[in-house]
Amino acid sequence: MGNHKSSVSGLYIFLVSVVSFLLAVLFFWLSNLVSEKMQSLWLSVVFLIVIVLVGILADIVGVSVTAASEAPLHAKAAKKVPGAAEGVFLIRNADRVANLMNDVVGDIAGTVSGALGIALALQILTYWRETGQLLVNMLLTALIAAATVGGKAYGKRIALVHADEVVFVAGKFLRGVFLITGRDFSARHKKTSR
């Protein structure tokens, strides 16, 4: 067993809690607004699928950073491969990244998908009035839960078998964010930035 130190402080926990609350309110409000404005049943289903996929992908990244090895990414970073230094950053901050991806993004996606499921059930009932509300709610809840749990189970398998590759792809994503926004996530850029 390794001696892993946590970079999570009391201030970080407080900030994550506040940000989680605000994001949950924002995403619930947005999902409610979208479901009210979208009178298309199919667009609502697509939006729900996207939210479930976001939760699954966040879970994959969160598990991968805890299982990945720095060595392959250091080798790529030495060759100046874009995204490698960001991948090292993710691994070195695995506790925060896993918390952010699994708990914040993943749990908010789960909450929002549940709220969207209720809105979708109401839409279905407007199309098929003879269908029982209890049956529709039960089936949608079960489908969303099955898709989320099954997707995350399969995602954990991907995350553990291909942890280094997943972290490298996440690092490339962060590199893209850096190029677009100027927000840096790796020590290499911090040292060379003026």
| pLDDT tens, position by position, 105-118 | 888 888 888 888 88
Calpha distance 163→181 (Å, rounded)? 27
Q: Is the pLDDT of residue 147 over 90?
A: yes
| Residue type at position 99 | N
| Residue type at position 154 | Y
Q: Is the pLDDT of residue 6 over 80?
A: no
What's residue 165's pLDDT? 96
Q: With beta carbons less than 8 A apart as the criterion, state whether 133 and 121 touch.
A: yes
Residue 30: band (very low, low, confident or very high) from pLDDT cuts 50, 70, 90: confident
Q: Is the pLDDT of residue 192 over 70?
A: no
Tokens of 18: 């506040």
Residue 2: band (very low, low, confident or very high) from pLDDT cuts 50, 70, 90: very low
- Percent of the chain, pLDDT > 90? 41
What's residue 145's pLDDT? 92
Q: Structure pTM? A: 0.80
54 CB-near residues (< 8 Å, 6+ apart): 105, 109
Residue with more model confidence, 54 or 16: 54
pLDDT in tens, 40-82: 778 888 888 999 999 999 999 999 999 999 999 999 989 999 9
HEC per residue, the chain: CCCCCCCCCHHHHHHHHHHHHHHHHHHHHHHHHHHHHCCCHHHHHHHHHHHHHHHHHHHHHHHHHHHCCHHHHHHHHHCCCCCHHHHHHHHHCHHHHHHHHHHHHHHHHHHHHHHHHHHHHHHHHHHCCCCCHHHHHHHHHHHHHHHHHHHHHHHHHHHHHCHHHHHHHHHHHHHHHHHHHCCCCCHHHHHHCC
